[in-house]
Every structure is written in structure tokens, then in C-alpha cells.
Chains A and B, each alone.
Chain A
Amino acid sequence: MIEMKNVHKEYSNGVIAVDNLSVNIDAGEFVYIVGASGAGKSSFIKMMYREELATKGDVLIEGKNVTDMKQKEVPFLRRNIGVIFQDFKLLPRLTAFENVAFALEVIEESPKKINKRVLEVLEMVGLKSKARFLPNQLSGGEQQRVAIARAIVNNPKVVIADEPTGNLDPETSWEIMRIFEEINTRGTTIVMATHSQEIVNKLRKRVIAMENGQIVRDEHRGEYGYEA
């Protein structure tokens, strides 16, 4: 599903974020990326949906090399990847429904199909009753659920989450994790960068630990292994 071969990422200011990293993530896996701030987690996952471009090496998503992809093909890559952020990145002027529908409008779905599908995913994340609320009328956890709904609304094969619980209290974080688990059991690959020791240690999954842009540990059903 996701394959990285000798990937190297150096920024123009000389900072090396990812250093000769190779890894394989299979379809349907649930993977935590852990590591201290600046370990290269964000650069690592940003290269998957080509927000960042690897300086050297290959990044393959479903066998397709993302690094030498034409600019025109990038939108189609991203339609197969749902991305979730710590700060939700919802559009403040749009309601929960519209925020989710946005992802389908962009790929020119018919209004009828959009309506049906958006209500489906809002129901899945438990927000159908708040479809008409604006983001500032929702709690942090609810906003993140809207963001998740947006990420999965067009059935991506991979969901990438960059510290999705970073801004949430423990209880709300577990709600979010339950949704991720559900998405994962439906067959979607999940890659999640996190700082939450509690989540990683309780909800055991594959753990990839990074340090100085390299993978220092890769365990199935691993532990957080750092002092948070």
C-alpha cells in the first residue's frame, strides 16, 4: 500500500528531516508514528500525499511513484488519501454538512449523491444531528469528527492523521480513536502520527518510532517507548 525506499528529505535551509528511510505499510494496517518533535514524523507523512516532495528516494502509494508524479496527477492521488490534522482545518464559514460536502463537490459529484453520502458519514461519526452547525458551535472533539467525516467521505484507501488528538482531552481522544478503529476495520489503512503515550500503549498497533529522520524501532503491537 505505502512503500518508501531510501527516502531522503532535506529542506532548502539545510535541515535534514528524513534520512534514508525505508518502510512498508500494507493495506489495512493501523500504524502509529511516534517520536519527539522534530524527529521527522510530519515530513514523513506529508511525503505520502505529496505536500512535501522527497529530495531522494521513492515513495510509492499503491505501486504508483509519488515522487516523479506530474503536478496534474497530484489531485487524483489525494482523492485516495484522507488527511486529518491536529487543528481540524475546517472552513469556519461552512456548516458541518458543507465542510464534508466540500470534499465531494471538489471532485464534481452530483448534488444528490453528495447529500446522501455526507449524511451517511456524519451518522457514522455521530454528528448527523449537528449537520447544520458551524464549526465554532461545535466542541473540539465534534470538529475533529467533522474533519474525519470529510477525510473518509470519498472512501479513501488510506487515512493519514497528523496528531489528531493533540488538541483534545483524553475522553474525547478516545471517541476519536474509536472512530479510527471502526474505519480501520472496514479495511482502510491508517497512518497516525501521535504524541499520546496513553493511546499507543492501550490501543496496541504497529508502532514506527522515529529519531533524527530515521526509523529507530518498528514493532507490531508495539509500545510508545518514550516519556511523553
Chain B
Amino acid sequence: MKLSTMRRHVREGTKNIVRNSWMTVASVGAVTTTLVLVGIFLALMFNLNQLAENIENEAQMKVYVERTAEEQDIQALEKQIGEISEISEMEFSSKEDELEGLISDMGESGEQWELFEQFNPLNDAFNIKTYEPEQLAGVASQIEQMDNVEEVNYMKDVVDRLIAFNDIARWIGIIFIGALLLTAIFLISNTIKMTIIARQTEIGIMKLVGAKNSFIRWPFFVEGALMGVLGSIIPIAVVAGGYFYLYNQFANEIPIPFFELLPANPFIWQISGILLGIGVVIGIWGSVMSVRKFLRV
């Protein structure tokens, strides 16, 4: 395509945006509303995804060894556990290590535990990770059957519930976002259709003088893309701004295990880019859908 033609398409597309200002407001409004909701859902979903990853990375179980177990019993147990194929990582933590961990976890109030260094009441333990968090339950029940195992602890309820919640939330999010996007595309295509009806004579004349369909379609492309860009401004401000605020206020105060907010930088840039991208795509999609019908002359 010639540069002068491209310039013409951009000029025409921009003119149409201005000329059909009410239609533009309606379309841009549809994109804006959609993208605000989509943006909020996306922010939630990305964070839930992060939660899932954290569960996957951090979900582990602790196998406490009976205090009466001898050195060779522990070695035998280690060997036995090591044969379970679902286990991805396994690490022995002696009762001294455990106490040290406890003291440092407790911070200042941990100091009183230092008294126990003389007589350590804790057990030796194995820290075990599985490939998938779903495998924790099965592995735990196998280990419980073994000799010299006092207790297996893996925060059963929390992990199970988080996994279930996360799956449901992800699906609801995907369905919701899909429905929102379809609605927006429909709204845009309808508004543009109305402007096309007004421009039907123009399209007819273009066809009469030998314009190719692509030539007729281009200004609508530009128009759709511009509507997408305009429609993503407010959502970007709301979602990115809101996230930035929430992150700074609450990032360190969330009482859900494994859950932490994605760092505002780069997340707000990523989500802004995604929203802009979605806006442009649905803008173009809506306008192309609506113009298609009018080109079959």
C-alpha cells in the first residue's frame, strides 16, 4: 500500500470518529466498561495464578520422626520415603535445625526458646515436596503407614481448599472475561453498523468507481483500533492506579497463606499493555465484523 493511501485511511478513520461523535461515545463507553471489569478480573486472576504457583512451589509436608528412632531407623525411613515417585524434593532437618528455624521464625519472642537448647523437645523431621500439590494427600497417607513416623503435617485443609478455590475462580474468571469481551465486540459492531448504514451511499460509490474491498475496509480498521485505544484509557487508569494503591496499602497485610500480591512494578505495566491490546483487538474485530456484510455487493 502506498504511503499516501495509508495516510488517507488514517485521516478517514479519524474523521469518522469525530464525525460520528455520539456513536464513538457509545462504542468507547462499551469498551471502557468492559475493560474496567476485564482489568479487575485479570488482576485477580493473575494474582490467583501466582497463588497457585506459590502453592505448587511452597506446598510441602513435614514428616516428624519419632524421638525414639535410632540413627539407622532414620536412614531406613529416609530410604523408604525416597522410593515414593511423586516426591520431587526431600530434605532432612535435624531437631537442632528445627529449633533454630523456630527461634528465627519467632523473632524476638523466639529468644525464650533458646532455653531449650539444653533439652530440645522437638523431633527430627523430613521436609518433602511433591511435583503437584494435589499429590500431597496421597503421599502423606503412604508415609503415615511407615515405622518411626510420629506425624505427617501438610496443612491438609488449607492446601485442599486453596486448590479447589483456585480452580473454580480461574474458570469463572475465564468465562466472565469471555462473555464481557463478546458483549463489547457486539456493541461496537452494532454502533459501527449504524454509522455504516449512514455511509452506505459512500461505500456504494466507492465500489462503483472500482475500490477494492480492502480499500473500503481500512478506514474502519483504523476507526475500530482508535476506539479501542480511547476505550482503554480509563480502564488502564482505574486498574493500574487502583492496583498500585492497593499494593502499597495492603501488600504485606494479607492473612491468606501462600498469597502475596504480584509486585506493582512490572505488573501495572503488563496489565496496561494487555488492556490496550484487548481494546484494540475488540475495536478492530467489532468494526471488521460490521463492515463485512456491507461489502458483499
Query: Are A102's CB and B209's CB within 8 A?
Result: yes
Q: How many A-B residue pairs have CB under 8 A?
A: 51
A75 touches B4 (CB 8 A): no
**Closest B residue, CB atoms, query A79:** B210
Residues of chain A within 8 A of B205, CB atoms compared: 89, 91, 102
Cβ of A78 and Cβ of B2 under 8 Å apart? no
What A residues does B202 contact at CB under 8 A? 91
Q: 8 Å CB contacts to B: which residues of A150-174?
A: 150, 154
Q: Is A13 an interface residue (CB 8 A)?
A: no
A154 to B208, CA, bound (A): 13
**A residues 64-81 in Cβ contact with B at 8 Å:** 72, 75-79
Q: Is B212 an interface residue (CB 8 A)?
A: yes
Q: How far is the CA of A80 from the CA of B113 in the complex (A)?
A: 96
Contact B210 A78 (CB under 8 A): yes
Check A106–B211 contact: CB distance below 8 A.
yes
Given contacts A89-B201, A91-B201, contact A49 B208 (CB under 8 A): yes
For the complex, is B95 an interface residue (Cβ under 8 Å from A)? no
Pairwise interchain contact B207-A78, C-beta atoms closer than 8 A: yes
Docked Cα-Cα span, A51 to B212, in Å, equals 15
Interface string of A72-110 (1 = CB under 8 A from B): 100111110001000001010000000000110111101
Q: List 26 A-B contacts (CB under 8 A).
A: A49-B208, A51-B208, A75-B207, A75-B211, A75-B212, A75-B213, A77-B210, A78-B208, A78-B210, A79-B209, A89-B201, A89-B208, A91-B201, A102-B205, A102-B206, A105-B5, A105-B8, A106-B210, A106-B215, A107-B209, A108-B1, A108-B2, A108-B4, A108-B215, A150-B209, A154-B209
Residues of A within 8 A of B (CB): 49, 51, 72, 75-79, 83, 89, 91, 102-103, 105-108, 110-111, 150, 154
